[in-house]
Amino acid sequence: MAHVTMKDVARLARVSPRTVSNVVNDYTHVSDDVRRRVVAAIDELGYRPNIVARNLRIGRTGLLALIVPEIDVPYFSELARAVIDAAADYGYRVMIDQTGHDHERERQLLTGHDRTMLFDGILFSPLVTQAEIAEMDSDATLPMILLGEHAFTGRFDHIAIDNTQAAYEATHHLVELGRRRIAAIGTQPKETYQTPQQRTAGYFAALDDAALPHEEELVIPAATYHRSDGYDAARRLLAMDQPPDAIFCYSDLLAMGAMRAVQDARLRIPDDVAVIGIDDIEEGRYSTPSLSTVSLDKDFIATRAVERLVERIEKPELDAQQIVAPHTLIVRDSTRPSPSDPASS
Amino acid sequence: MAHVTMKDVARLARVSPRTVSNVVNDYTHVSDDVRRRVVAAIDELGYRPNIVARNLRIGRTGLLALIVPEIDVPYFSELARAVIDAAADYGYRVMIDQTGHDHERERQLLTGHDRTMLFDGILFSPLVTQAEIAEMDSDATLPMILLGEHAFTGRFDHIAIDNTQAAYEATHHLVELGRRRIAAIGTQPKETYQTPQQRTAGYFAALDDAALPHEEELVIPAATYHRSDGYDAARRLLAMDQPPDAIFCYSDLLAMGAMRAVQDARLRIPDDVAVIGIDDIEEGRYSTPSLSTVSLDKDFIATRAVERLVERIEKPELDAQQIVAPHTLIVRDSTRPSPSDPASS
DNA sequence: TTGTAAGCGTTATCAC
DNA sequence: GTGATAACGCTTACAA
């Protein structure tokens, strides 16, 4: 069963392949009579244009690659949803790859045979710094936009929130609640990952402004940002002689784990320990208690990222651009003594 | 800057394109000397094979399409993670499309220009019945495997759990707790979607076995399976003159919303109202209280689905197969009056 | 072991 | 408006 080709349609409709192509692509300048014949032939033969052949010819695939650490981390799946929808608006579809927090895999996806002409562009949410990416991607040829990295090198387009400021606001909010021993969860053992460092800087800055000491023992690293990491880190904090009265987590998912640990320890949120995260995943709106957080505008990030990438694809010579996405502090029950918190009654 | 092609490499290395191809594809029978020359030329020119051209030639793209309602619904993002990983084991990459619970969009993705030779196969998590899919996909040409639909028509490969049995076990568990007014959340207004119907059948069967009446007012529909739907449905239930003492939700996400509504109403889980879901998303292991559920083996589903799809791609003439995925009842705090450590489940 | 040449199914450049 | 015909960049008989 050889595949039905344009030629077959052309023969049946008694026209040239050129005309079939015109009809398929909705070109003008095709007489109604001929168009009808061609359409009839297409239906009769069940012809479907071969996208791959078209792609080869026109040099575009209509495919974008979205590279994230893990698609089942809510922040990334919510982002992916927005990216896929935004891409659809421009006629693009999205392939998703996972690096699994593996630097080697990141390198592979960027440099290996994978990074080929199958995609028109890449949306990359990296763990490493831009400098390292530049090194990997030395013979960069594909338009790429970086998601969630902040330090701007001028080499790549990228979009991110102001991490330092976001962390400052979260910490400052805890200070305003009157908390004095404010812990942080989410520093990174490896120093290559910039985002946590910026958040730590914001956290310390807020402590400084409140004349609170930097207590190194209250700053807990997290290898990844899963619920289990938050849980383990919070347990460590609660087991201390002087446990914290507030915890700032570098992601909502860490915060979900931390909240669970606090409640397992029979402590009340926020009365005994207040908890705040960053990301604003939907899970935090329904948890008990609901989670205070710094909301990142994912739709903004996705829309602008895709928009910019498409622009790049069309004009590869453009200068790299830095886009700062907005963020908003959102106060919910985990930092607000509220009657709707059953654990506190 | 015209793209560097095989011909360019061949010229520089003083060999034929054929030989370059051999080197790129790691063929045997290439003398070390020639190979070195070719590799050197590739490096010097920064040559990258054009995957699209190769795809056209060999008739495969190495791309699978995964079509789900919404990627940011935890069940689907967890499934997608497993699918992407499983596909990678077979050398495939995965493009993700969202139908957004829109039947028209489902039809479009299946029949429209989208359903072209860009993919070697499709993994489809549909809302509608197989009969409707068969109608849409009348000139089916691409290997496709259905995810999460149960009624087997012999037309398509598909994989799913035994929904009726799973629902039976969940309901039966609530019966064993001594609950007498057991509500269900998640029936579907439209009748085309089979999964909810099967779950309702299992729910009623369990009530029958316990000699409990079918109270139609305790069976609440949900247009989609989001947290907000569960929340709204539970509020309706709790506002009744005789509110239920247990709620069986057709998805964990519905259950998360329902739990929140119960707690907002100042009722205790499970003392006043026990709650159970289906899916076993990670969120339910960390929620307060942790959520009892029927666990679907997502790794099994993803692995077997991809395995089968790849088999299909290689042998399109195979008969359609039905694969039943295992499920397990998991009892957590939402149906057990004693808190526990999430690390233990 | 390597070179030659014929496609894969489109789209695009010409004429007519 | 429509028809030949040449690419797009690769793989692969078939030769050498």
| Strand C contact with A2 (CB < 7 A) | yes
Q: How confident is residue A338, by pLDDT bands cut at 50, 70 and 90?
A: low
Mark yes or no for CB contact A231/B95 under 8 Å.
no
Spatial distance from the CA of A61 to the C1' of C5 (Å): 28
| Strand C contact with B39 (CB < 7 A) | no
The per-residue pLDDT for B135 is 74
Spatial distance from the CA of A57 to the C1' of C12 (Å): 9
Strands (E), chain B: 63-68, 93-98, 121-124, 144-147, 157-161, 182-187, 219-221, 246-249, 274-279, 292-296, 322-325, 327-330
Nearest residue on chain A to B87, alpha-carbon basis: A97
**Min Cα separation A162/chain B (Å):** 24
User: Best of B72, B139, B253, B345 to disrupt the A interface by mutation (most A CBs within 10 Å)?
Assistant: B72
Q: How confident is residue A302, by pLDDT bands cut at 50, 70 and 90?
A: very high
The per-residue pLDDT for A342 is 46
Spatial distance from the CA of B18 to the C1' of C4 (Å): 9
Spatial distance from the CA of B16 to the C1' of C13 (Å): 29
pLDDT higher for A26 or A10? A10
> Which residues 121-150 of B interface with strand D at a CB distance below 7 A?
none
The per-residue pLDDT for A116 is 65
Q: Report the range out of A7-16, A187-196, B13-22, B229-238 with the highest average pLDDT.
A: B229-238
Mark yes or no for CB contact A116/B50 under 8 Å.
yes
Distance between CA atoms of residues A51 and B55, nearest Å:
11
Show residues of chain B in contact with A84, CB under 8 Å: 71, 96-98
The per-residue pLDDT for A345 is 37
| Mean pLDDT computed over A231-241 | 98
Nearest residue on chain A to B85, alpha-carbon basis: A98
The per-residue pLDDT for A341 is 45
> Which residues 15-44 of B interface with strand D at a CB distance below 7 A?
17-18, 21-22, 24-25
The per-residue pLDDT for B243 is 98
Residue A59 is which amino acid? Answer: G
Spatial distance from the CA of A52 to the C1' of C7 (Å): 15
The per-residue pLDDT for A309 is 96
The per-residue pLDDT for B220 is 97
The per-residue pLDDT for A133 is 76
| Mean pLDDT computed over A125-140 | 74
| Strand D contact with A265 (CB < 7 A) | no
Please report the domains of chain A, with CATH numbers, ordered by start residue.
6-49 (1.10.260.40), 58-160+297-325 (3.40.50.2300), 163-296+329-344 (3.40.50.2300)
pLDDT tens digits for A80-95? 999 999 999 999 999 9
Long-range contacts, A11-15 (Cβ 8 Å, 24+): A12/A41, A12/A44, A12/A45, A13/A37, A13/A38, A13/A40, A13/A41
The per-residue pLDDT for A344 is 41
Report the mean per-residue pLDDT for chain A: 90
The per-residue pLDDT for B114 is 52
pLDDT tens digits for B299-332? 999 999 999 999 999 998 889 999 999 999 999 9
Mark yes or no for CB contact A72/B71 under 8 Å.
no
| Mean pLDDT computed over A250-266 | 98
Q: Which residues of chain B have pLDDT under 50?
A: 1, 341, 344-345
Question: Which residue, counting CA atoms, is nearest to the C1' of nucleotide D7?
Answer: A57
The per-residue pLDDT for A327 is 97
Q: Find the CB nearest B139 among A46, A118, A288.
A: A46
CA distances from B67 to A162, A177, A205, B96 (A): 34, 46, 45, 6
Mark yes or no for CB contact A117/B52 under 8 Å.
yes
Q: Report the range out of A96-105, A189-198, A211-220, B38-47 with the highest average pLDDT.
A: A211-220
| Strand C contact with A7 (CB < 7 A) | yes
Q: How confident is residue A153, by pLDDT bands cut at 50, 70 and 90?
A: confident
The per-residue pLDDT for B24 is 86
Query: Taking the model in full, what pTM does it have?
Result: 0.93
Mark yes or no for CB contact A116/B63 under 8 Å.
no
The per-residue pLDDT for B155 is 81
Q: Find the CB nearest B118 among A46, A51, A114.
A: A51
The per-residue pLDDT for A82 is 98
Distance between CA atoms of residues A183 and A220, nearest Å:
8
The per-residue pLDDT for A112 is 60
